[in-house]
Amino acid sequence: MKAILCTRYGSPDVLQLADIRKPTPKDHEVLIKIHATTVSAGDLRVRGFHSPLLMWIPMRLFLGLRKPRNPILGAEIAGEIESVGSRVSRFRPGDRIFALTGLRLGGYAEYTCLPEKALIDAKPGNLGYDEAAAIPFGGTTALYFLRKGNIRKGCKALIYGASGAVGTSAVQLARHFGAEVTAACSAANFDWVRSLGADRVIDYTKDDFSHGGVRYDLVFDAVGKADKRTCKQALAPNGKYVTVDGQGIAKVKAEDLAFLRELAETGTFRPVIDRRYPLERIAEAHRYADTGRKRGNLVVTVARSNEND
């Protein structure tokens, strides 16, 4: 099968197309034919080995010393169950699914195996594989940190970095939970961020939201680039500040994927896709992601399907 291998840590040029052996599922695993994956922030961090200095040695020991121990990146996928292990009862061949592979990665290939108890759920019936693949990472990350920040009906929430994969998900989810949403992004993204449900938008390149006269019950830095002091100055009494940077990895449960699927199927939540790339051009996708200018998600098409994606 074809796969993209991360041959060492470094620039997008370390990503190389290769032919490798197709995996075989173990007794409790499913074999997934991957139709689409994405270029997520997690993939960028592993490829470039972006790690805090104090965590450099532990992360190298965990991920691999000279290159990723698992050279096939890709943290979220959508596809079809091709076969199942002898002890699998939850899935059967032909099931259309989407999944968060997490630290197992494996999405940059035509096939991957996952345990049946992994974070796998039925693909939203109203979405194509490309859209479904763009849900798990941004959606579950946003959901985790919004809940950590005590998102609730009527609260004033500021989403900083509202145009990325996590930010676009956070805007929609905060709106769903009944919050009054202010989105901080560049002026070029104002209109379509409003279309996602933001009540108010501010230009983070010009406006100092800590002196704007509004105090927020929740400030969520969805890109890990906001000034911590500024964010805290914008909080109301008892308000909460949460960030994707330095506050741990989002803890995801199977019911989180099911929740996002239900919202997608009712039209309440929709993944935002900036660009699409074929598998063989994945290095180009990583180069674009490295610019920091992407809006929403970058989807990588692995296999063509009969669906109208």
* Segments in the chain forming alpha helices (H): 41-48, 56-63, 129-133, 136-148, 165-176, 190-195, 228-233, 254-265, 282-290
Residues 44-80: tens digit of each pLDDT: 999 998 777 777 787 787 788 888 989 999 999 999 9
Q: Please state the rounded mean pLDDT for residues 271-291.
A: 96
**Of 6, 140, 138, which is closest to residue 73 (Cα–Cα)?**
6
Residue 254 has pLDDT above 80, yes or no: yes
Residue 309 has pLDDT above 50, yes or no: no
> How many Cβ atoms sit within 10 Å of the Cβ of residue 234?
23
Query: Coil, strand, or helix at residue 96?
Result: strand
Residue 227 has pLDDT above 90, yes or no: no
Residue 31 has pLDDT above 90, yes or no: yes
Residue 206 has pLDDT above 90, yes or no: no
What is the spatial distance between Cα 180 and Cα 166, in angstroms, rounded to a whole number? 18
**Of 173, 189, 197, which is closest to residue 264 (Cα–Cα)?**
173
Domain residues of the chain, as ranges? 2-135+271-301, 138-243
Structure tokens at 20: 């490798």
Residue 42 has pLDDT above 50, yes or no: yes
Q: How confident is the model at residue 305 (pLDDT cuts 50, 70, 90)?
A: low
Query: Is CATH 3.10.20.740 the right assignment for the domain spanning 2-135+271-301?
Result: no
CATH, range 138-243:
3.40.50.720
Note whether 106 and 163 are within 8 A (CB): no
Provide the percentage of residues in the chain whose pLDDT is more than 70: 98
Whether 2-135+271-301 and 138-243 share one fold: the answer is no
Residues 1-17: tens digit of each pLDDT: 999 999 999 999 999 99
Structure tokens at 269: 């939540």
- 3-state percent helix, strand, coil for the chain, nearest multiple of 5: 30, 30, 40
